[in-house]
């Protein structure tokens, strides 16, 4: 039996034109390969279909977790691969169930693509019957089962799995122009950067401390396929968010980058209007989001419980401060 990872492409990719969708999906596969190579995971083949990819590797469990951090991926599953012959599927499922299923209730879910002599419902019924005959401590519950086994049949292969790992969805990195993102000690700075990365933007980090000590920067590195991020480290310490924002705008003008990303949530309309005079796009991805969504993303990124930054930002002075910085290429170990 082979092992593989099922990769489901993000739903937003699927609504693009055929040309753009193919480009995005090829980019997702390219990013997945970078992640696997960076983590020394060997793979034997990659099968790609519209909306799906199958990565064959003996380290499928570890690979599924890492690939689930690639932008453009909706979800992944660690799976066992067999032929699409129904008898072989039944034999393999019974072996897995004997080790994996606890006493209680279960369900079988099957989806199928290609030409076969059976329907998806036939597979579910045959597997359910075989499991019941081999495990007297199990009962079928299709509404709310204790455990579920999934079978995805595509052409000559069947992929058997138990769970899916949530991916970030969105678009693959580097499909949009880069932006400068302010990354400080706040959770909001991580979330805002991650939101923009999720739209296909590779950020250039603007930080105010040593990159090796910036935990938020290290968190974001986990979501970059090649593990590399360009960093602008300010040599001036800015105490207020307004000064950090103005410094980032000046940096964008110097480096000829089209926009700045900030995690600020509390800023008045008059201040935003003043910022427009600099002719640099300033993006506040979190400004209209509800706390529940932000809390969910904090847990998803491993940041813990959300602690809101209550500081209100008001741009009093539209003059740009002096800026001294150095450029660093920071790479994950």
Tens of pLDDT along 289-315? Answer: 999 999 999 999 999 898 888 888 888
Pull the structure tokens for residue 209. Answer: 């401390």
pLDDT of residue 308: 85
From the number of C-beta atoms within 10 Å of its C-beta (0-12, 13-18, 19+), residue 171 rates as buried
Domain assignment of residue 115, given as a range: 2-166
Residues 185 and 57 in one domain: no
pTM over 0.75: yes
pLDDT of residue 311: 82
How many CB atoms neighbour CB 155 within 10 A?
13
pLDDT of residue 173: 96
pLDDT of residue 130: 96
Residues 227 and 105 in one domain: no
Given a contact cutoff of 8 angstroms between Cβ atoms, the answer to whether 33 and 73 are in contact is no
Bridge partners of 318, per DSSP, are: none
Given a contact cutoff of 8 angstroms between Cβ atoms, the answer to whether 75 and 65 are in contact is no
Residues 112 and 206 in one domain: no
Task: Give Cβ neighbours of residue 321 (< 8 Å, ≥ 6 apart).
Answer: 236, 238, 243, 246, 247, 250
pLDDT of residue 232: 96
The closest of 204, 327, 179 to 257, measured between CA atoms, is: 179
Residues 155 and 186 in one domain: no
Distance of alpha carbon 124 from alpha carbon 138, whole angstroms: 15
Domain count, the chain: 2
Tens digit of each residue's pLDDT, the chain (333 residues): 799 999 999 989 988 999 999 999 999 999 999 999 999 999 999 999 999 999 999 999 999 999 999 999 999 999 999 999 999 999 999 999 998 899 999 999 999 999 999 999 999 999 999 999 999 999 999 999 999 999 999 999 999 999 999 999 999 999 999 999 999 999 999 999 999 999 999 999 999 988 888 999 999 999 999 999 999 999 988 878 898 999 999 999 999 999 999 999 999 999 999 898 889 999 999 998 999 999 999 999 999 898 888 888 888 776 777 888 999 999 887
CATH code of the domain covering residue 61 = 3.30.2130.30
pLDDT of residue 172: 96
pLDDT of residue 104: 95
Distance of alpha carbon 104 from alpha carbon 120, whole angstroms: 24
**Residue 106 DSSP SS3:** strand
pLDDT of residue 316: 79
Bridge partners of 113, per DSSP, are: 154
Per residue in 8-60, pLDDT (tens digit) is 999 899 889 999 999 999 999 999 999 999 999 999 999 999 999 999 999 99
pLDDT of residue 321: 72
Residues 154 and 63 in one domain: yes
CATH code of the domain covering residue 274 = 3.40.50.620
pLDDT of residue 216: 93
The closest of 50, 45, 40, 35 to 2, measured between CA atoms, is: 45
The helix, strand and coil proportions of the chain, stated in percent and rounded to the nearest 5, come to 35, 30, 35
Residues 255 and 221 in one domain: yes
Strands 165-166 and 147-154, bridge-based pairing:
unpaired
Residues 142 and 254 in one domain: no
pLDDT of residue 46: 95
Distance of alpha carbon 159 from alpha carbon 155, whole angstroms: 11
How many CB atoms neighbour CB 42 within 10 A?
11
């Amino acid at each position: 039996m082979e092992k593989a990872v099922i990769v489901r492409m993000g739903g937003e990719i699927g609504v693009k034109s055929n040309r753009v969708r193919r480009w995005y999906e090829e980019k997702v596969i390219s990013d997945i390969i970078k992640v696997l190579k960076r983590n020394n995971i060997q793979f034997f083949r990659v099968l790609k279909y519209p909306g799906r990819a199958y990565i064959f590797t003996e380290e499928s469990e570890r690979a599924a977790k890492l690939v689930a951090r690639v932008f453009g991926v909706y979800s992944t599953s660690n799976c066992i691969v067999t032929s699409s012959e129904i008898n072989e599927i039944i034999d393999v499922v019974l072996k897995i169930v004997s080790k994996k299923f606890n006493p209680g209730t279960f369900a079988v879910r099957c989806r199928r693509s290609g030409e076969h002599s059976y329907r998806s419902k036939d597979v579910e019924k045959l597997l359910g019957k075989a499991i019941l005959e081999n495990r007297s401590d199990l009962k079928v519950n299709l509404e709310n089962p204790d455990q579920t086994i999934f079978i995805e049949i595509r052409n000559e292969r069947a992929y058997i799995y138990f769970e899916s790992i949530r991916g970030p969805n969105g678009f693959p990195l580097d499909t949009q122009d880069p932006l400068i993102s302010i990354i400080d000690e706040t959770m909001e700075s991580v979330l805002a950067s991650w939101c923009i990365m999720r739209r296909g933007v590779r950020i250039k980090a603007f930080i105010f401390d040593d990159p090796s000590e910036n935990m938020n920067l290290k968190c974001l590195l986990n979501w970059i396929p090649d593990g590399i991020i360009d960093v602008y480290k300010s040599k001036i310490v800015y105490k207020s968010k307004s000064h950090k924002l103005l410094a980032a705008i000046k940096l964008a003008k110097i480096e000829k980058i089209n926009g700045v990303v900030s995690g600020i949530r509390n800023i008045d309309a008059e201040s935003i209007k003043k910022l427009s005079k600099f002719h640099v796009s300033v993006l506040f991805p979190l400004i209209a989001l509800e706390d529940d969504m932000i809390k969910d993303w904090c847990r998803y990124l491993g940041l813990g419980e959300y602690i809101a930054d209550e500081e209100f930002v008001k741009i009093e002075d539209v003059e740009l401060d002096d800026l001294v910085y150095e450029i660093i290429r920071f790479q994950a170990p």
